């Protein structure tokens, strides 16, 4: 392949811009915020599940507490009514009186037992509420962090996109002047060779693979016409010759 030496030199400038584009795209893909956002989003899902369970526990215990409160209230009312009847002397028959006495003792035992239940439910409710409050606080903290991370991600992304646009604006007029076959070869090599299709031959070394060119190859390169497109024997990238090549 043949190409004007100036076009070959220009290819190095294109290569530099393309390396910059690759770097910027890599930075876009690997913003540290992205990994943290993924991590936090997963953690938030877990927290949300836990909060939902905790809310159910609080609701259930609230219902349980109302029920046990109502039960206590009902038994107390009944005992008070019995007490009043006795106080008012409405029960005079000794047999009835004894039965009533027994009933009141039984009611008192029931009240004590229900009050124990009441206390236990209250403690469990308090605990469940604390768990729920803690989870809600953690969720709020996570959301605040996620918002901050998203803002940082968006700002960095916008900056990188702007730089990418700038590089593209520089590259476009550069490549329109380049011969199509040279550019096609370069693109193919860039694709196959980790992003570097053209390299400078500097001080007898290929800057694509960083290997020294042996003397026999150097002699060939030296004798090649200036418009010949030279390739590195080691990495097959396009080797661009300049005054720094050491030929």
Does residue number 233 form part of the binding site for Zn ion (CB under 5 A)?
Answer: no
Interactions with Zn ion, residue window 198-217 (CB under 5 A): 206, 208-209
| CB-nearer residue toward Zn ion: 76 or 204 | 204
Among 235, 238, 241, 245, binds Zn ion (CB under 5 A): 235
CB of 236 to Zn ion, least distance (A): 7
| CB-nearer residue toward Zn ion: 24 or 245 | 245
CB of 237 to Zn ion, least distance (A): 5
User: Is the sign of the CA dihedral 73, 77, 83, 88 positive or negative?
Assistant: positive
Number of residues that bind Zn ion (CB under 5 A): 6
CB of 1 to Zn ion, least distance (A): 17
CB of 195 to Zn ion, least distance (A): 14
Does residue number 232 form part of the binding site for Zn ion (CB under 5 A)?
Answer: yes
CB of 239 to Zn ion, least distance (A): 7
Find tokens 């010759």 and name the residue.
241
| CB-nearer residue toward Zn ion: 3 or 239 | 239
Does residue number 12 form part of the binding site for Zn ion (CB under 5 A)?
Answer: no
**CB count in 10 Å sphere of residue 54:** 19
Rg of the chain taking only CA atoms, in angstroms: 42
Does residue number 234 form part of the binding site for Zn ion (CB under 5 A)?
Answer: yes
| CB-nearer residue toward Zn ion: 137 or 219 | 219
CB of 182 to Zn ion, least distance (A): 17
CB of 183 to Zn ion, least distance (A): 19
- Which of these ranges, 148-156, 161-169, 190-198, 227-235, lies near Zn ion under the rule CB under 5 A? 227-235
| CB-nearer residue toward Zn ion: 162 or 214 | 214
HSE-CB for 119 with a 13 A CA cutoff: 6
- Which of these ranges, 4-12, 101-109, 179-187, 228-236, lies near Zn ion under the rule CB under 5 A? 228-236
The DSSP result for the chain, as a single string, is -B--HHHHHHHHHHHHHHHHHHHHHHHHHT-HHHHHHHHHHHHHHHHHHHHHHHHHHHHHHHHHHHHHHHHHHHHHHHHHHHHHHHHTT----HHHHHHHHHHHHHHHHHHHHHHHHHHHHHHHHHHHHHHHHHHHHHHHHHHHHHHHHHHHHHHHHHHHHHHHHHHHHHHHHHHHTS-HHHHHHHHHHHHHTTT--EEEEETTEETTTTEEPPHHHHHHHHHS-TTB-EE-TTT-PEEEE-GGG--
Does residue number 240 form part of the binding site for Zn ion (CB under 5 A)?
Answer: no
Give contact residues for Zn ion (rule: CB under 5 A): 206, 208-209, 232, 234-235
């Amino acid at each position: 392949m043949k190409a004007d030496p100036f076009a070959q030199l220009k290819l190095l400038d294109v290569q530099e811009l393309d390396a910059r584009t690759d770097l910027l795209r890599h930075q876009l893909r690997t913003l540290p915020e992205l990994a943290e956002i993924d991590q936090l989003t997963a953690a938030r899902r877990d927290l949300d599940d836990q909060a939902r369970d905790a809310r159910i526990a609080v609701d259930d215990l609230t219902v349980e507490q109302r029920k046990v409160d109502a039960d206590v209230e009902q038994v107390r009312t009944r005992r008070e009514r019995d007490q009043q009847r006795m106080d008012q002397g409405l029960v005079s028959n000794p047999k009835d009186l004894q039965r009533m006495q027994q009933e009141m003792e039984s009611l008192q035992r029931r009240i004590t037992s229900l009050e124990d239940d009441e206390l236990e439910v209250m403690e469990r409710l308090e605990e469940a509420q604390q768990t729920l409050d803690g989870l809600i606080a953690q969720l709020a903290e996570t959301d605040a962090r996620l918002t901050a991370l998203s803002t940082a991600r968006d700002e960095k992304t916008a900056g990188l996109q702007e730089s990418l646009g700038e590089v593209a604006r520089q590259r476009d007029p550069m490549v329109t002047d380049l011969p199509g076959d040279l550019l096609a070869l370069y693109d193919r090599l860039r694709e196959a060779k980790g992003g570097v299709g053209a390299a400078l031959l500097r001080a007898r070394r290929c800057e694509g693979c960083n290997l020294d060119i042996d003397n026999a190859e150097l002699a060939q390169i030296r004798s090649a016409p200036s418009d010949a497109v030279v390739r590195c024997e080691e990495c097959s990238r396009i080797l661009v010759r300049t005054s720094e090549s050491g030929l």
